Structures are given as structure tokens and as C-alpha cells.
A and B are shown apart, each in its own frame.
Chain A
Amino acid sequence: MRFVVFLYLTYLLLPIGLLCVGSLGESWTNTMLPTGLTGRWYLEVIDDPSFRRAFVTSLQVVGAACITNLILGLPLAYAIYNAAHRGVRMAARVLTLMPIAVPELVLAFGFVLVFSSDALPWLGSIWVLIAAHVVLTLPYLLQTLLADMEHLGLERVEQAAESLGAGFGRRFLDIVMPSLRHSLVSGLIMVAAISIGEFQLSNLVSGFLTRTYPVVLLQAFYGATGFACASTVVLLALAVAAAAAGALTARAASRQGETKT
């Protein structure tokens, strides 16, 4: 058991370790490990305007995608869960899974087709990019929420609230939202993680000035090894920060839920 865990962790962490080492090495060509110690690669990444811009764009896209997911996801999941007809429920589920099942390339092609037309010439704007990320990530949030609703037996709990006199708005605020807070937060963490690392779709949909960090990162691989490592570590740090922030909010939310409500 332990051996397997050890092997897996090595497999998982070794590349990350090498990245960190590489990002601090002076030069790295044809040797096991780089030689020399320097911080200049990080300075170069920070000084690079295209990387700086991409970093900000990524943050904007992730933030906007999370907010849009929050606004769309909860009502949508609720509607699917409560759809009276089994067939409707099934169809809605299949439909929401489509963006995951369909290759991103196909999705991207759709976006390119639609938004490079004369009627909707918005390809390259950050809004199209955000929309693309929402389409891609929404299914994950929906699945998480739907699974939790089913697990909680939300229908029965809501029936109980209704029999006690609570109308729809009241139930949604008092019962539905607090009951789903864990899955909502964990779903949004997943959304953020996917959005941060997303490459294929962003690469095809973004414009020159709205490239996200992973898209720009590809350029780094054609340059010095140290530079490539440093810029990748930045993305890694961003992803870890997002996950940690998400986890902390989740914990805070659940603590608050336990003491307050």
C-alpha cells in the first residue's frame, strides 16, 4: 500500500519539483540537473508585458466564469432536479454533459464560426472567451450540485419546509442555498481550476490581446529552459492559490453554517 502511494506521489511531484529546480537554475542543457542559481527567469517573466497581460486576463476570465457559473448554475440545477417529467430531466442531463463529451476542438470551431461572422464579429473579445469558459465549466458545477441534491433528498426536505408554511422564495433562501453550500463551493473550485488551466479552447477563441496565461505559456517553451520553467511555476502557483482560496472559503462557509443559520 505504502509503496504504491510513494510511487504515485513521486510520479506526481517529481515533475513539479524539477520545474521548481529548473526555474531557479542558471542554465540547463544536457545535464541531469541545471547549474548555477538565479532569480532572473522570474524577473524576466514578470517584466514580459505579454505574460503580465495574460496573467491579468486569466484572473479576469476565471473570476467572471465563476460568477457566471454561480448565477446560472444554481437555478439551472434546481430546475433540472425539479423537472416534473423524467424525460425532461434525462434530456437536460445529457444536454448539460455535452460540452464535456464533445471535443473542445469542435466547441472552439463552433465559436470561431459564429463569432467571426459579420453579424457577430466578436471573436477575440474577452466576453467570448468568458462565454467559452462558462460553456466548458458549467457542466461540472451542475453535476456536483445535482449529485448533492439527490444525496440530500432535497425534494423531501423542501416538502417538509413547505408543509411548515414556507413559500418558494423562503425555501430557496433558508433551505436550498444553505443545504447546497458545500457542493456549490467545491463545484466552483473545480470551475476555477479548469478555467485556469484551460488551453485548447482559449487558444482558438482568444484574440492577440486577450490570450490567457496557458496560451502565452506555449510561447515560453520555444525559449530558454529556465524561462519556460519559471513561467510554468507561476501558473502552478496560480492554480494552487485558487484551490486553496476555494477550500478556505468552503471551510469558512461551513463553519458559519454550523454556528449561525
Chain B
Amino acid sequence: MSVRFQDVSFRYPGSEAGVLHIDLELGPGELVAVIGASGSGKTTLLNLLAGFLRPDSGRIVINGKDVTDLPPKKRDLGQVFQSYALFQHMSAWRNVAYPLKVRGVPREKRRALAIEALKNVDLEAFEDRLPSTMSGGQQQRVALARALVFKPKALLLDEPLSALDASLRMSMRDEIQRVQQQAGIATLHVTHDQEEALSIAHRVAVMEQGKLAQVATPRELYDSPATTSVARFVGHANLWEGEVAAQGCVRCEVGLLSCRTAGRLIGERVVVLVRPEKILPLGANQGAPNQVRGALVRDRFLGPVRRYDLRVGQEIVQGETDFWGGIESVSIPPEAIRLLST
């Protein structure tokens, strides 16, 4: 079962906000996370798929069927909301059974199916509990069971973990992934938490001002971001402006760095991207490739890693390491350097 956005555009009446020319396809069983700053249009995208918003142009196709003009109730999509949106006056199993009730499944059958769905999210002991007596994580699992119990064509997750505290978020993340894989259902997961997106999605779509800036696997997105803004948004990044000085060499504020420059012209303006964990801290000794000296201006202890700032000229080199000794210079391995267009 697949979902396809075909050149979808939407503007909120009387404003500039919305989404523009979205082309995105979710394959069967694929989990695609949509990330972006607030106001980038990621929730709009979700609401367009859900049917709460109707595109100004373009089509939305689910399983080969054009659903652009269908109301939400006819789209057969399971949705999990940020605030859970459980029915407070119904017990857990009745919440889960509700989509079956709407579809005319007889009472005994829907109760059995609902309890099985609750079992699948480890909540079989909670079938008769009211949502208000359950924890946030439990409520979210009820919401997940409710969104999947009627075998929808696709699953929509609208910031499902943002209301949970950090420790719970980790385990719920795995839980969502497990349940999604088990159901083998195409899933659109909207989140502002890039770590969450990178960790569970097959592919990640980065939205910027209503447009898709890049759609790629988490690895590809992290290692080869398409633009500087994607690089800045996904993970930590050193971004230095410079120019190609010669074949295999760029000049930037940090110094003359050797790296691959294939496909670039000499004199071309570029942005040098280096992920902090790729940078190697050194003492005063010379001899490492792309070694630059600088003054340690900040040193942060973050548990497993240490994040330090080294001032080199007017620029800051940010590095991450588990080395706890003194740092007077760093080596920037040539293979860790990516050049981006300005």
C-alpha cells in the first residue's frame, strides 16, 4: 500500500504559509519522517493527507486511488495525534473499538479485536481503564492501537512523542517502529525531533518554508546534506565559508584544507561541512593531515562525550570527542570534509 503526493500545493487563506509543489511517495510498509522548523509546513502536509485540508492544486493518491476530494472519514487512514485525542468518556477497549463500531463490526467481534490490539501494545490489563487514569505513554499506546485496529491504508503520526518526557520517548520510539513494521503499513511521521526521525525512519523528508529541501535515508541526509540549511538542521555541523583554492584544496577561515574537490571549479565559493565527531583532537605535536592550531574557548561535559570549541582565527571549530586530555590543535581528516554550494 502506497501513498503519493503529486505536485501538491496549499496556501492558508490570507497568509503566505502553506506547502508548495510537494512530490513525495511512501512505499508499502515504508516509514517516512517529515522534519522541519515550526511553520515549515510539515503539519500542513499531514493534514492534507488526512483530508482536514484540501490542496489548492495537485493530487493525493493512496493505493493508486485519487483521494484528493474525499473527506477524512472516507480515507481510511489511522492517525495518532500529539495530544492523543482519546475519548475521555470511553474505556481503553471502547476507544480502540470505536473505528470498528463505526464500520458496523458486531459488538463481540470488535471487543475481541480491540483487546487483541491492546495486547499488542502491552496494555491488555488496562482494557477497562478510562484514559484519565492512564499515564501519557499508556494513552499514546491506546491511541496507536486505535489507529491500527481497523487495518487502515496508511498511518499518520502527528508529533506522537512530543508530550512525553525524554526517557519514555526513547522506548515509545522503538514501540512505534515495532508496531509499524509488524503492521507493514506506509507511515507518515511528522516530528520536530530530528533524532527521532533519524532513528526510526526509512527515509526522512526535510521541509523548509513549505518546500521539500531533501528526501533521503537518514544516513545519506546526515553524511551528504543537499544544502547548508539541511546540514544545520540535521545534527550538529561546522559550516565554514570558503573557496576552492586548487584541485584537492579549499581555503577558508580555518586555513588551507585538503579534501576532494571533484566537480568544483577553482575559485568557486563553497561551504565546508565537517561533523564535530569527525574532528580529531590533538596536542601541540605537528604532522597530522589538515592540522590546525587554536585556542580552546569552551569545553562542555555531556556525559559520554565532550563538546569543545576551538577558536581558529575568527572561526570556531566545534568538535566532539571522548578524549579528556588537553587540546591545542585538531586534525580535520580530508575524507570528513563535504563541500556544499553556497
Give A contacts to B, CB under 8 Å: 152-153, 156-157, 159-167, 170, 174-175, 178-179, 181, 257-258, 261
5 smallest beta-carbon distances between A and B, as pairs = A160-B85, A164-B99, A163-B79, A165-B102, A178-B89
Task: List chain A residues, Cβ under 8 A from B98.
Answer: 161, 164, 166, 174
Kindly list chain A residues whose C-beta atoms are within 8 Å of the C-beta of B87. Answer: 157, 160-161, 174-175, 179
Give the Cβ gap from A189 to chain B, nearest Cβ, in Å: 20
Q: Is B73 an interface residue (CB 8 A)?
A: yes
Residue from A159, A164, A258 within 8 A of B146 (CB atoms):
A164
Report how far A157 CA is from B73 CA in the complex, Å: 14
Q: Looking at the assembled complex, report how far the CB atom of A179 sits from the nearest CB atom of chain B, in whole angstroms.
A: 6
Q: Contacts A164-B102, A165-B99; is A261 near B90 (CB within 8 Å)?
A: yes
The answer on a CB contact under 8 Å between A162 and B73 is: yes
Chain B residues with CB under 8 A of A157: 85-88
CB neighbours of A160 from chain B (8 A): 79, 81, 85-87
Q: Mark B52-96, 1 if CB is under 8 A from A, else 0.
A: 100000000000000000011111111101010111111100100
Q: Is the CB of A167 within 8 A of B73?
A: yes
How many angstroms between the C-alpha atoms of A160 and B90 in the bound complex? 14
12 sample A-B contacts, Cβ–Cβ < 8 Å, listed by A number: A153-B85, A157-B85, A157-B87, A159-B52, A161-B87, A162-B72, A164-B78, A165-B73, A166-B102, A170-B102, A181-B89, A261-B94
Q: Is B298 an interface residue (CB 8 A)?
A: no
Residue in contact with A179 in the complex, picked from B52, B77, B89, B102, CB distance below 8 Å: B89
B146: which A residues are within 8 A, CB to CB?
164
Which residues of A are found within 8 Å of B88, using beta-carbon distances? 152, 157, 179
C-alpha gap A162/B51 in the complex (Å): 10
Q: How far does the alpha carbon of A160 sit from the alpha carbon of B84 in the complex, in Å?
A: 9
Known: A152-B88, A157-B85, A157-B87. A164 touches B130 (CB 8 A): no
Chain B minimum-CB-distance residue to A180: B89
Chain A residue, CB-CB nearest to B76: A165
A159 pairs with B90, CB closer than 8 A: no
B103 within 8 A of A: yes
Contact B73 A166 (CB under 8 A): yes
Are A156 and B85 neighbours in the complex by a CB distance under 8 Å? yes
Chain A residues near B10 (CB, 8 Å)? none
Are A156 and B72 interface neighbours, CB within 8 A?
no
**B48 CB within 8 Å of chain A:** no
Asked if A165 and B89 sit within 8 Å, CB to CB, the answer is no
User: In the assembled complex, how far is the CB of residue B216 from the closest CB belonging to chain A, in whole angstroms?
Assistant: 29
20 extra interface residue pairs, beta carbon distance < 8 Å, beyond A162-B72, A166-B102: A156-B81, A159-B72, A160-B81, A160-B87, A163-B51, A163-B72, A163-B73, A164-B102, A164-B150, A165-B74, A165-B99, A165-B102, A165-B103, A166-B73, A166-B98, A170-B102, A174-B87, A174-B98, A178-B89, A261-B91
Contact A163–B102 (Cβ < 8 Å): no
